[in-house]
A and B are shown apart, each in its own frame.
Chain A
């Protein structure tokens, strides 16, 4: 009996260690929103709302975008898998409460495609990421506009240009509010600033009809 116990003891220790350090498959997938505060009901409600929308998208064979304004990332996803991430440098939004549900891309920046000339002896240059725009607008249905701009402007002039442009946009919003132009029916607008290469990468990855879900921060 003692001999049997002695034989099985190392085995049970090994087994216990394996169980202790093993990670179940679903846990290895990682958190849906690592920055979500599990003690904040507002955060939990928003996280659940986004997951509910994402479940509808992940059930179909397609790629979709998850714009996470809390974490400051845009995720290109399929089946719940994070395929690629883009870092948001800054963002502004109007009509935040209306950024719920699934938005589908209806218009994206045109791509200038080179044409093959069979009679030409030289090959046409292919399209590359550098051919993609760094500033553009994406339109969605239900009505929502996403302005994308690049954070690449360098130097004093670039800084002045960027700040002036931002200030001009701010003034327009202010003027609209003062004049009572903005109404509840106005479509939400999300303006996102991305590093130059990532703005091009987003333009490259979007396809017509691509669905988008947005995770919103809690309002103050």
Chain B
């Protein structure tokens, strides 16, 4: 009991001590953000600053896409097609699992199954795409990598459409629709049949894809 009282007393004194510490001039807290500002400003200077700010804002707006663009939230597994601030399509997706696979015979190198983050563009639009299975697709199943390229081709697993955005990454369909909304892919972005068709119709080669 005495120890508990001692502990409470120590905590309270510690808190009181800290509350009395004045903040140094170089340290700022969120509470001062609303501090009042001095008045009396030269109107010419102010107008100049306002024009500069407006000009910069306009310049920045010129970088924003004026057509449709694709936005992918890999943390929440959602794909959006947007135009300006308007959401044209909100689709549940599956993105990269983040797991790794050792590359056999290559020391400590690994494949990392992440969906790449950043800005990309639609580079190709395919209908009835065939999957040309890369090495990892065989290795992760404990199979030998085939020597004949024709043995890598698998039909029907990517859905009716695929939109390539570089380095072998695609937005495509899936047979495993129950896994939509989860991070299960090798880096590609999977959609259901209807959403894939909509994205295919809305996007063109050059459409920006922003992934975070």
Contact = CB atoms under 8 A, between A and B. Distances in A.
Interface residues of B, number: 65
A31 to B, nearest CB: 8
B98 A113 contact: yes
Interface string A64-91: 0000011010001011110110001011
A114 B35 CA distance: 48
Contacts of B148: none
Contacts of B21: 170-171, 174
Contacts of A32: 56-57, 60
Given A44-B49, A55-B59, A207-B118, A63 B210 contact: yes
Given A29-B64, A55-B60, A41 B18 contact: no
Interface of A: 25-26, 28-32, 36-45, 47-48, 51-52, 54-55, 58-59, 61-63, 69-70, 72, 76, 78-81, 83-84, 88, 90-97, 111, 113-116, 118-119, 124, 126-129, 160, 163-164, 166-167, 170-171, 173-174, 177, 182, 201, 204-205, 207, 217-220
Interface of B: 11, 14-15, 17-18, 21, 24, 26-30, 32-33, 35, 37, 41, 45-46, 49-50, 52-53, 56-61, 63-66, 69, 71, 73-76, 84-85, 97-102, 110, 112, 117-121, 139-142, 182-184, 208, 210-212
21 contacts: A25-B84, A41-B45, A47-B53, A78-B210, A78-B212, A79-B65, A79-B210, A80-B60, A93-B27, A94-B27, A96-B26, A115-B110, A124-B97, A124-B99, A126-B97, A127-B98, A128-B183, A170-B21, A171-B17, A204-B74, A205-B117
